[in-house]
Amino acid sequence: MAFCTLVFVLLSLPLFFGPMFVDTWVFAYIGKHMSLDKLPYLDLPDNKGIFTYLFYRGLDFFFPQNFFAWNAVFLLLALASAGCIWLIVKKKAGEEAALAAFAFYLALSLFPGIDTFGSSEAIGMPFLLASFALLYYNSKSARAQIAAGLLFSIPLLTNILFLPSLISLALFHFLGEFRLSRQFAIPAAFLPLVFLLFLASTGSLPAFVEWFFTYNLAHSGAYYEDTPQSIIPLAGLLNVPLHILLALVLAVFYFPQLRKFRILALCIAPLLLFTVSKILLIVVPDHYSIATLPLYAISAGAVFSSFRGFDGTMVRALLLSSLAFLSLAFLSQNLGSAETFPQHADLLYQQKFQSAYPAFQNSPNLLAVGQGLAFTRAYYLANSTYSGKYFFYFHIFSKVPFLRKEMDNDVLSAMANGSAKLIVTDADCPNIFCPTAEVSAGIASGYTCNRTDFGMGGEYNYSYCVRNA
């Protein structure tokens, strides 16, 4: 186990120097600036649970603009999730299967695009698995039930993706894996109820509901709209790694010698619901896929434990070699990403950004208008804020007509009243995710813009605009 941990840490080091997960900048901005005067959802639009923003507020408080430390925290979260998987599988099937599940979870966590470092799913997962592990080992203890209930509530306040874990919990209970009591239920419901009461008392509840439903509906629609229908089945057929993972899961239910894992796999399976519903699982790895990792890890442990003797030694050697090759492949892709897009290496970007444009520092007048969430990085690195509400143009929201209109009106108002003195935008924005013609015209008529790469030595793909006197 210690060896697997060491290998994972070494192979994850490139992630410390590559690009931060793009959503990081939105979470960090909201976490840093939310207050009783500027409320999440109502004044700071987004759709994640409140714990995501509180978590990033803590990162900013303890490690201000120290992205290396942030990544170290996310590394520990991944190890904690894998450790909880180890505990659960060990209780069910012994040390060998647990070690295989532990190693497999960590190997899959390095998959490029999974976004283990920074996503809300990665934040919530160790708390969910810790709750299950605690119940597995000591569900008869009232203190364990209370602690497990509190732990279970945290993922629900992190991301809507964890709602299917309620189904998992019910399966664990009714299939006799562990028993739940009022000592679990009351703490599990307490924090979510406090959150809902806070939203209701501050008038933020309608905004929360609006962002929650709008995002998920728009996301589903955007996926089908943006993806040619002929690509979906083709991508599914060509996704060999996924087929291998699903074969591991099916093996648990097919082979009689693996029956002791069936209930465990069945109970964990509901976490796939949101991922599969978005179809992202069969096309490209994404942060949503983090919800699938526990099932694949448990299934790998089950298959691994079924081999014994000489054949078992050969299979273990093959499995460990495959995991090592898989991890090295992920490492290579992560290194390649950092080399291909050096302008997104955030530690370097921060230094270049701040030295090239000191006018951005501590400015309450910045407006980032671009085609992606990455533009919100400008606020955080410059320690700046936007006076209005829509501090980012997100492509999902820009496809919803009434939200697009709200965003445009908010931006135009900030430009008209002079509160947006500095603007960062795309130099060449090619699609619907970009500013509308009206916003672009406002920038062109009221600002002097210069193309820039912020001193990164790459393409001049940004525009730095200063309001005309």
User: Of the residues 295, 320, 340, which one is the last residue of a structural domain?
Assistant: 340
Q: In whole angstroms, what is the distance from residue 98 CA to residue 302 CA?
A: 9
Q: Do residues 55 and 78 share a domain?
A: yes
Q: Do residues 300 and 260 share a domain?
A: yes
Q: Do residues 323 and 437 share a domain?
A: no
Name the pLDDT band for 348 (thresholds 50, 70, 90). Answer: low
Q: In whole angstroms, what is the distance from residue 166 CA to residue 152 CA?
A: 9
Q: Do residues 395 and 275 share a domain?
A: no
Q: Are 399 and 221 in contact (CB under 8 A)?
A: yes
* HSE (side-chain half, CA atoms, 13 Å) at 215: 15
Which region among 215-224, 301-310, 311-320 has the lowest average model confidence (pLDDT)? 215-224
Q: What are phi and psi of 317, to 5 degrees?
A: -60, -40
Q: Take residue 115 and report the two structure tokens written for it.
A: 């976004």
Q: Do residues 162 and 287 share a domain?
A: yes
Q: Do residues 110 and 35 share a domain?
A: yes
Q: Residue 349: give the domain boundaries.
A: 344-467
Residue 452 β-bridge partners = 462
pLDDT surpasses 70 at 372: no
Q: Do residues 108 and 232 share a domain?
A: yes
User: Of the residues 273, 307, 340, which one is the last residue of a structural domain?
Assistant: 340
pLDDT tens, 218-271? 655 444 444 444 444 454 555 556 656 667 777 776 677 677 777 777 777 777
Q: Give the count of domains, the chain.
A: 2
Q: Do residues 221 and 325 share a domain?
A: yes
- Bin 166: left if φ > 0, else alpha if -120 < ψ < 50, else beta: alpha
Q: Do residues 420 and 334 share a domain?
A: no
Q: Do residues 322 and 401 share a domain?
A: no
User: Of the residues 310, 340, 370, which one is the last residue of a structural domain?
Assistant: 340
Q: Take residue 367 and report the two structure tokens written for it.
A: 């407006």
More reliable by pLDDT, 444 or 261: 444
Q: In whole angstroms, what is the distance from residue 161 CA to residue 49 CA?
A: 10
Interacting residues of 187 by C-beta distance below 8 A, sequence separation 6+: 145, 146, 147, 149, 150, 153
CA dihedral sign of residues 8, 11, 16, 19: negative
Measured over all CA atoms, what is the biggest interatomic distance in the chain, rounded to whole angstroms?
80
Give pLDDT, residue 96: 79
More reliable by pLDDT, 230 or 378: 378
pLDDT tens, 139-178? 888 899 999 999 999 999 998 888 888 888 888 888 888 8
More reliable by pLDDT, 354 or 141: 141
Which region among 183-197, 344-358, 361-375 has the lowest average model confidence (pLDDT)? 344-358
pLDDT surpasses 80 at 412: yes
Q: Are 295 and 272 in contact (CB under 8 A)?
A: yes
Identify which of 264, 337, 322 has the alpha carbon closest to the alpha carbon of residue 114: 337
Name the pLDDT band for 352 (thresholds 50, 70, 90). Answer: low
- Decide the pairing of beta strands 366-369 and 447-452: unpaired
Q: Do residues 330 and 434 share a domain?
A: no
> pTM for this one?
0.83
| CB crowding 322-333: b at 16 or more within 10 Å, else e | ebeebbeebbee
Q: Are 455 and 356 in contact (CB under 8 A)?
A: yes
- Decide the pairing of beta strands 447-452 and 422-426: unpaired
Q: Do residues 356 and 320 share a domain?
A: no
Give pLDDT, residue 81: 94
| CB crowding 161-176: b at 16 or more within 10 Å, else e | bbebbeebbebbbeee
Q: Take residue 329 and report the two structure tokens written for it.
A: 């492949």
Q: In whole angstroms, what is the distance from residue 108 CA to residue 297 CA?
A: 9
Q: In whole angstroms, what is the distance from residue 30 CA to residue 54 CA?
A: 9
